Amino acid sequence: MIEHPTGLLQSLALGELDRDEAFAVMQHADSCAECAGELADAMRGVAALASAAGAELLPSAKTAVRQRDSRWLVGSLAAAALLLGVWNVQLETTSASVPVDALVHSHFAHHALTGTGGQAKLIQALDGSWVYIVATGLRPLRAYDVLVDGTKIGSLRADLTGNATGYWRRQAGKIASAALAGQDSMLRWDGR
């Protein structure tokens, strides 16, 4: 029987897990369609909370909010805003925004990039029209080239904690290999 990290999926979506826990949960979600769907739902919930934080409430909604436990609501909104703020800073290093609708509503594939100098995942559209790289354990503030099928499609820079993300659109087509190459590291996936 497989033990699903159900309680950790929402914590991951809120950014509450440390690096090792987050990696373990993502690794499980890669091979478990049930948990991948729950993680997508949790991420959608965080986005909805963040969206609600910026929206003006109607008078009837204000009354309902006052009746709830306001500490939970404020804490959830603060966590969502913090997560989205950190995510936004990371996105500023790429030329396009992450395809949240594509991640939540369409089909995509995950591939672990293995090697030396960190850990990374390639998330791609099944038709290969976009690529999203998520990496951790990289050298802080170092630049890394992103290669798909041996061709450089862009680069990204690790933040102060060694995390990095990047998103690129590309010509649709089968992706057979990918790599994240840095000065002293090489992480790759070869699906051939």
pLDDT tens sequence across 88-130: 444 444 434 555 655 665 668 889 999 999 999 999 988 888 8
User: Where among 29, 61, 91 does a domain terminate?
Assistant: 91
State pLDDT tens for residues 71-94: 454 555 555 555 555 444 444 444
In this structure, the answer to whether residues 162 and 106 fall within a common structural domain is yes
Give just the sign of the alpha carbon dihedral 11, 13, 17, 20.
Answer: positive
Residue 118 one-letter amino acid: G
State pLDDT tens for residues 159-170: 999 999 998 999
Please tell me the distance from the alpha carbon of residue 104 to that of residue 78, in angstroms, as a whole number.
Answer: 22
In this structure, the answer to whether residues 123 and 73 fall within a common structural domain is no
In this structure, the answer to whether residues 133 and 76 fall within a common structural domain is no
The phi and psi torsions of 55 (rounded to 5 degrees) equal -95, 150
In this structure, the answer to whether residues 74 and 139 fall within a common structural domain is no
Give just the sign of the alpha carbon dihedral 6, 12, 18, 20.
Answer: positive
- Report which of 149, 138, 156 is spatially closest to residue 175, judged by C-alpha positions: 149
The model carries a pTM of 0.49
In this structure, the answer to whether residues 126 and 173 fall within a common structural domain is yes
